[in-house]
Structure 1
Amino acid sequence: MDIRKELSREHSRAKTMKIVDYVGDNPTRLKVLVDVFLTGPYRITQRAAWPLSYCAEREPKLIIPHLKTILNYLKKPGIHDAVKRNTVRLLQFIEIPKRHQGQVADICFGYLQDPKEPVAIRAFSMTVLASIARQNPDLRQELAILIEDQLPFGSPAFVSRGRKVLKEIRPS
């Protein structure tokens, strides 16, 4: 399958799942998808982000070798919300290596603090930060304060995720 060609033809859930099934647990095919994601053009990057997040959900270990490159891409200014959303979504499914946790936390705290970010990006960021905070208890307080400050102004989805994360990170 030519992933780039498939993504240029149409953007649908069916196409996304076809690509995810094609990649499966094959690291070489995932590398091709990551390369398509990183090299664009812009519309193709957007479309590649969706199957990439589903691949991470199915086979989280396959993403780890590409994590540094994906995180660097996420820091680029002006990337589309769909790219941010699906990239942060994929971070929920992997165990983030210690060496990347600081960078991931910085990115996710930035998204969470920005009320202009779409709620899905902020909600996924909360989940990723909660995962990091399980291994780094010092982050729990900072995350809890940030969520509590934003709950009164949050959408129902934000409030729901916020309460769930607060319950998870607070000691019983």
Structure 2
Amino acid sequence: MKINLIKGDITKFKVDAIVNAANSSLLGGSGVDGAIHRAGGPAILEACQHIRNKQGSCKVGEVVISTAGNLPAKKVIHTVGPVYQIGKNNEKEKELLANCYQNSMLLAKENGLTSIAFPNISTGIYRFPKQVAAEIAIITVQNNPILEEVNFVCFDEENHTIYKKLLSNE
């Protein structure tokens, strides 16, 4: 499995699947979720509405797949990351974040996809500490080599620097 680190906009990335750090409603939001919905166009929202009508909301750590609409990727895998509770024992949140990465890769594999691009799940308004989230992402991916290519796409310099340091220590 090849692991790549990219600093840039995940909505411009051409891979089999990009992962959307969605909210449980699947109807778009802020951050990467809003960017993916805006860039992908109404087809993504329509697909998400269809999924919701069929199964209800998406639970934290779980995944669903939709069209990529106008995006260069073939599919969008939507996953709901955990909200980090400052001052609490966060073992459950860490496990749920790992599930986001693992379940995204499994769903990609089930759909015959071989390459995936991940944003920095839960590190924005969900307040997951960026260092801890990066460690979880990298360890989870490395322990589940089921796809040919995994890309970590960091929009901001802080996340990119953290991932670069962690990946160079391998």
TM bin (shorter chain): 0.3 to 0.5
Higher strand share: 2
Higher helix share: 1
Larger relative contact order (CA 8 Å, sep ≥ 6): 2
Instruction: With the length of structure 2 as denominator, give the TM-score of the two structures.
Output: 0.33
